[in-house]
Amino acid sequence: MNWERLDTYAHLSDRAASILLDAIRTDPHAVLGLPTGRTPVGMYDCVITECTHNYHCFRDVRTFNLDEYVGIPHDHPGSYAAYMEQHLFEFIDINPANAHIPDGAARDPRAECVRYEAAIRDAGGLGLTFLGLGRNSHIGFNEPGTPFTSRTRVVELSESTRIANEDLFADHKVPTRAITMGIGTILESRRIVLLASGANKREAVERLRSGIVEESFPASALWGHPDVTVLVSD
Ligand code: GLP
């Protein structure tokens, strides 16, 4: 596991964006795993700025988001589909057919999970996946106790995760379930970059750094992967 400490959130965002842009420059058909949450907002801003100044082509890039809430439509302002539109997709030349997000409004969410796994497989698997870190160390929406072999599935969100994401819902009504890539799905990505910033992540970061691997601490699964970079800032 490679650790990089950046002195500010702005530098962390800049570094993450340059990893992403290098990847699509090297391979214009790159397959990216993408996160949501507050942490990657700066990375997406830097990607957009770079793309405006210095053209970067997303035309053949395929993206797979890590997760989505169940029971809300794509255009709900709290959905991760709306988040991705607002923070990235609206500003880049990605083909909408290549930008995948689990359909949280699917009539059969379990079938949607099977379809999503197959879509990742059909794309040749994830090449480079960015992750945020939950305060309780969740990755995607894989809460503590998730088996490291888990695949894309429907999960119940923990109370603490729902509270942490409450302000993203105007009515504070955070859905109780989500579709998330499994830890096993994430670990098959050829390269992984984890972003963690801020005092509220310090404890989870220190625990990850300790190297103790256990299912009660989902991010520790990353120790089993050969190419992980952790970008940390205050
Ligand atoms: C949500 C997302 C995670 C994300 C986490 C941390 O629960 N499902 O993928 O990593 O929040 O978010 P933040 O960056 O806002 O702290």
Q: Which of 4, 14, 98, 136 is catalytic?
A: 136
Is 78's C-beta closer than 6 angstroms to any atom of ligand 1? Answer: no
Ligand 1 nearest-atom number relative to CA 67? 8
List, for residues 196-232, the tens digit of each pLDDT value.
999 999 999 999 999 999 999 999 999 999 999 999 9
Is 104's C-beta closer than 6 angstroms to any atom of ligand 1? Answer: no
Contact 178, 139 (CB under 8 A): no
Report the pLDDT value the prediction gives residue 99, as an integer from 0 to 100: 98
Q: Which of 87, 138, 142, 165 is catalytic?
A: 138
157: helix, strand or coil: coil
Is 79's C-beta closer than 6 angstroms to any atom of ligand 1? Answer: no
If pLDDT is split at 50, 70 and 90, which confidence band does 169 have?
confident
Mutate to test the pocket of ligand 1, among 34, 133, 159 (most ligand atoms within 8 A of CB): 133
Ligand 1 nearest-atom number relative to CA 132? 10
pTM of the model: 0.97
Is 67 designated active site?
Answer: yes
CA 173 to ligand 1 center in whole angstroms:
17
Is 138 designated active site?
Answer: yes
List, for residues 55-110, the tens digit of each pLDDT value.
778 999 999 999 999 999 999 999 999 999 999 999 999 999 999 999 999 999 99
Is 162's C-beta closer than 6 angstroms to any atom of ligand 1? Answer: no
Q: Does 53 have pLDDT greater than 80?
A: no
Report the pLDDT value the prediction gives residue 172, as an integer from 0 to 100: 78
Mean per-residue pLDDT of the chain: 96
Strands 62-65 and 99-100: parallel
List, for residues 104-135, the tens digit of each pLDDT value.
999 999 999 999 999 999 999 999 999 999 99
CA 97 to ligand 1 center in whole angstroms:
25
CA 26 to ligand 1 center in whole angstroms:
28
Is 161's C-beta closer than 6 angstroms to any atom of ligand 1? Answer: yes
Is 66's C-beta closer than 6 angstroms to any atom of ligand 1? Answer: yes
> In sequence order, which residues have a C-beta less than 8 Å from that of residue 210 and are 6 or more positions away?
none
> Which pair of tokens denotes residue 111?
């079938």
Nearest to 26 by CA among 35, 14, 18, 36: 18
User: How many other CB atoms are found less than 10 A from the CB of residue 117?
Assistant: 17
**What gap in Å lies between CA 67 and CA 103, rounded to an integer?**
9
For each of the domains in the chain, give its residue range(s) and CATH number, in order of start. 2-233 (3.40.50.1360)
Q: In what order do the strands lie in the sheet with 228-233?
A: 2-5, 228-233, 191-197, 128-131, 31-34, 62-65, 99-100
